[in-house]
Amino acid sequence: MKENIMLSVKNLSIQFGGLHAVENFNLSIRENELYGLIGPNGAGKTTIFNLLTGVYKPTSGTIMLNGVNKINGKNTIEINKMGIARTFQNIRLFHKLTVHDNVKIALQNKYRYSTISGILRLPRYHRYEALMDEEAMALLKVFNLENDAMMKSANLPYGKQRKLEIARAIATNPKVLLLDEPAAGMNENETKELMNTIRLIRDKFNMTVLLIEHDMKLVKGICEELTVLNFGKVLAQGETNEVLKNKEVIKAYLGE
Amino acid sequence: MDYFKLKRQKKARYNLSIYLMIVIAYAIVMFLSYQGKISSLLNGLLVPFCTYSILAVSLNLVVGISGELSLGHAGFMCVGAFTSAVFTRYMKFLGVEGLYLFIIAILIGAVTAGFAGLLIGIPVLRLKGDYLAIVTLAFGEIIKNIANAIYLGFDENGAHFSLKNTMALGLSDKGFVVIKGAQGITGTPHYSSFTAGVILLIIVVTIILNLVNSRTGRNIKALRDNLIAAESVGISATKYKLIAFTIASSMAGVAGVLYAHNLTTLTALPKNFGYNMSITILVFVVLGGMGRIRGSIIAAVVLTLLPEMLRGLSDFRMLIYSIVLIVVMIFTSAPAMKQYMEVLKNKFPIIKNLKAVTLKKFSKEGE
Amino acid sequence: MDFLTYFVNGLSLGSIYAIIALGYTMVYGIAKMLNFAHGDVLMIGSYITFVFMSQMGINPIISVLLAAICCTFIGVIIERIAYKPLRGANSLAVLITAIGVSYFLQNIALLIFGANTKSFKSIVTIPPLKLFGGQLIISSESIVTITLCIVIMLALTTFINKTKMGQAMLAVSEDRSASTLMGINVNGTIAMTFAIGSFLAAFAGVLLCSAYPTLTPTTGAMPGIKAFVAAVIGGIGSIPGAFIGGLILGVLENLSKAYISAQLSDAIVFSVLIIMLLVKPSGILGKSNIEKV
């Protein structure tokens, strides 16, 4: 087994006004791992995603990608180019564009050609457009979305919108994939299918996955390790089964 | 892949329909004018049709495709008109005339207006939409004011510039005043023609269509639809909004060149380069359908023609435009209206097939 | 002394901007929209005053009050017909609608009153104030304008802080959906905001036309835009911000007219806006909003 640490977070804190939204947060995720981040609402999970993707700037602490690249202080665009992609809790698709275009847009950093090549339709345009078309379609197939490719993404049913968001994130070819409540709003069958898909993309694309989830079945089913967050602080951390047995965790989840 | 073939065919058909529309309209006009059946009124409108179409199509790139509101489009037109006219007028003074100068003038207009767009865009495009509207409006007015205040002349020592009067230029005997303050530029060579206008329109349409269906265009649309998601897949908001804004400004400059060389006197008035003009162009874009290139051209031509044909209505033209703006916006964007239309659509499937100019919102497929 | 004269005139102009800016800032804060037509409501108010006062010979003060009442209704009607259906629509659509309304008002005024400039008789009759042995003359319009502006600011602040309606306004500006859940009548509150803004716009219009006695259908456009700039500089959504922003803008405009160039004064004012937006987009007293991701 590889023991390379893909994502490591040290003493990460952020304050909004006087509020410590996240305090002294530590995390290390091995390469190719499926890692869960759970906790009650308002525990600071999404805030951590926002810190990891440069939407917020941390008050203190460091975030390292692959052990060498320091990513705090960089902006969202640079961080995406370095290899972190995410989905959003409240779905954010390019709603007026087709499903296929949503994924194609995310391939824009891989197949770069200039505005001039686009306007003048230079050979590079034709070559790269064809490659993007193929690759986007292949990705849609992984998520069983190929038959909806021409549909306007806003018209997709909810579950498929979530899947499309994941496909779009993967299209940027990240090392680390952050999924914010991927199973929210899905029924049991869809969740099951999603679990398989997440495993599949981890294996197929050799990705490290960090996910926020409230659905305990999904967490138990696929996460190898867990961090439990409460009031911006780490409550427990470790292997999934161990953590879920932890008394503090049970207390935070079920109340006293 | 069937999908891509289908998609390309669909795109190609849409694009072809635009070109066909322009070419057929051109052929009809040319045929009628050969037969001597074009009234002088219509004859005088031929170049304006092209000018307004270019303006509408280019503003659509900002408003419809990029989702930002610019209220200073006429200002960029003004930049293109004046810089190009200074060039051709001075060349005429030097005794140089010829259609090749018009081509150089077009390039000058496009570059200077594009540069003005870039300068304005860099600080402003980082801001939220409402601020952009205000600042572009202000910019348009400032450009118009400056154009009214400038005195510019040339002599053997080069260019002389003043904001006071002709005397303050301090020109030598051989000198020549090009811009005379509020009197503007007189004696501009008449290079514009319907043919030139149509060629320019086709070039502008081609540039925009190719841009929209390329990586850059998709990135621009992604930013319009969801800025945060677009940044999360590595798209720089500033860069791509700036590209759209600069290209649109530069095309407005081209329209300005066409405008300037269709008249013998070029002055900056509220009605040609002011706020009114910017709003008129916005009406073309909104009525033609946001993001719809063909719609913009149709709206520009029809709305230029109508008030001229219904002279009695000219007092009401702007009033009608304003009502049209409000009504179209409420019908296409009000949440309650959208729901109502959704219900109607399910009840009467025929609505789905209606292809009225502003009904693009009802199409199931994405752009 | 010259400087002081320009400065006081600037304060006076700034007070007018401040009163107009209140309408912008309250509407922007509460309805989250840029009411482009606000400046034109001001123009309509001035025309109504003009008709009552100069053409019908009604007492100036009563004319102004009548105009203010008319404007209040106009403001509420505009909101009801044009803006309310678009609540929840994207901001571009709302903005274009507001531009449509602005244009509509200008052209209605053009049709009714014509393009010719009406010379507006000042409503102020008190004598000007002479200071430093007559070296510094403060015009009577300036005195009234500045005083009225301060009174309005104090009254409005008290209204917001002490009344139930004022508190409702604060709540709606903070979080519209939560306010609905708390039983606040959001539509009523927004209508009230438009009513207050338009009521004040009538006063601003009369003061503006008293100081600069020319009235055309586009009288409201430029002051309207500048007042919005003032609201942005002061911090959009903030009442003291509108006051400070208005004064800064008025003084700046008058000083640059006097010492730099009359033609470039607008350009200077707008470049201040651009600089402000780049340095501190939330304005002097504004709160910065982080979009929730």
CB B113 within 8 A of CB B253: yes
The β-bridge partners of A63 are A9
Q: Is residue A71 part of a domain?
A: yes
The pair of three-digit structure tokens given for residue C204, joined into one six-digit string = 């601003």
- Select from C33, C107, C289 the residue whose CB has the most chain B CBs within 10 Å, as the one to mutate to test that interface: C107
How many domains are contained in chain A? Answer: 1
Of the candidates A1, A9, A38, A52, the residue with the CA atom closest to the CA atom of residue A237:
A38
**Chain A residues near residue C290 by CB distance under 8 angstroms:** 56
Q: Is residue A76 part of a domain?
A: yes
Residue type present at position C139 = S
Of the candidates B57, B133, B99, the residue with the CA atom closest to the CA atom of residue B298:
B57
What integer pLDDT is reported at residue A106 of this predicted model?
Answer: 95
How many domains are contained in chain C? Answer: 1
SS3 state at A213: coil
Distance of alpha carbon C162 from alpha carbon B143, whole angstroms:
46
> Which range marks the domain in which residue C23 is found?
15-220
CATH code: domain of residue A234: 3.40.50.300
CB C125 within 8 A of CB C140: yes
Half-sphere exposure of C60 (CA within 13 A, CB side): 11
The pair of three-digit structure tokens given for residue A224, joined into one six-digit string = 């190898």
> Which range marks the domain in which residue A219 is found?
5-92+175-200+211-254
Q: Is residue C279 part of a domain?
A: no
How big is chain B by its Cα radius of gyration, in Å? Answer: 22
The residue of chain A nearest to residue C289, with distances taken between CA atoms, is A16
Q: Is residue A180 part of a domain?
A: yes
Polymer length of chain A = 256
Angle C140-162/C239-259 helices, nearest 10 degrees? 160
Q: Is residue C59 part of a domain?
A: yes
C129-131 and C136-138 strand pairing: antiparallel
CA dist A165 → A171, B176, C291 (Å):
10, 64, 20
Q: Where are the beta strands (DSSP E) in A1-68?
A: 5-16, 19-30, 34-38, 60-65
Distance of alpha carbon B281 from alpha carbon B272, whole angstroms:
11
**Chain A residues near residue B4 by CB distance under 8 angstroms:** 133, 137
Q: Is residue C201 part of a domain?
A: yes
DSSP state of C116: S
B347: closest CA of chain C, how far (Å): 23
- Give the residue extent of every domain in chain B: 1-38, 47-316
**Chain C residues near residue A54 by CB distance under 8 angstroms:** none
Q: Is residue C293 part of a domain?
A: no
Q: Is residue A236 part of a domain?
A: yes
Distance of alpha carbon B110 from alpha carbon B77, whole angstroms:
9
Residues of chain A numbered 143-172 and touching chain B (CB < 8 Å): 149-153, 155, 168-169, 171-172
Q: Where are the beta strands (DSSP E) in C14-157?
A: 118-119, 129-131, 136-138
The residue of chain C nearest to residue A91, with distances taken between CA atoms, is C293
Distance of alpha carbon A207 from alpha carbon A32, whole angstroms:
5
- pLDDT tens-place values along chain A, 256 residues long: 457 889 999 999 998 877 888 989 999 999 999 999 998 888 889 999 999 999 888 989 999 998 777 777 889 999 999 999 999 999 999 999 999 999 999 999 999 999 999 999 999 999 999 999 999 999 999 999 989 988 999 999 988 999 999 999 999 999 999 999 999 888 888 899 899 999 998 998 889 999 999 888 899 999 999 999 988 888 889 998 888 888 888 877 766 4
Distance of alpha carbon A242 from alpha carbon B137, whole angstroms:
63
Q: How many CB pairs under 8 A join A and C?
A: 5
Distance of alpha carbon B121 from alpha carbon B127, whole angstroms:
10
Whether B286 has its CB under 8 Å from any CB of chain C: the answer is yes
A208-212 and A34-38 strand pairing: parallel
- pLDDT tens-place values along chain B, 367 residues long: 566 777 778 888 888 999 999 999 999 999 998 888 888 888 899 999 999 999 999 999 999 999 998 889 999 999 999 999 999 999 998 888 888 999 999 999 999 999 999 998 888 887 777 788 888 888 888 888 888 888 998 888 888 888 777 878 888 778 888 888 888 899 899 999 999 999 999 999 999 999 999 999 999 999 999 999 999 999 999 999 999 999 999 999 999 999 999 998 998 887 788 888 898 899 899 889 888 999 999 999 998 888 777 777 777 878 888 888 899 888 888 888 777 777 777 776 655 544 443 334 333 334 4
Contacts 24+ apart (CB under 8 A), A190-196: A190/A159, A191/A215, A191/A217, A191/A218, A194/A162, A194/A163, A194/A218, A195/A221, A195/A222
pTM: 0.87
CB B226 within 8 A of CB A93: yes
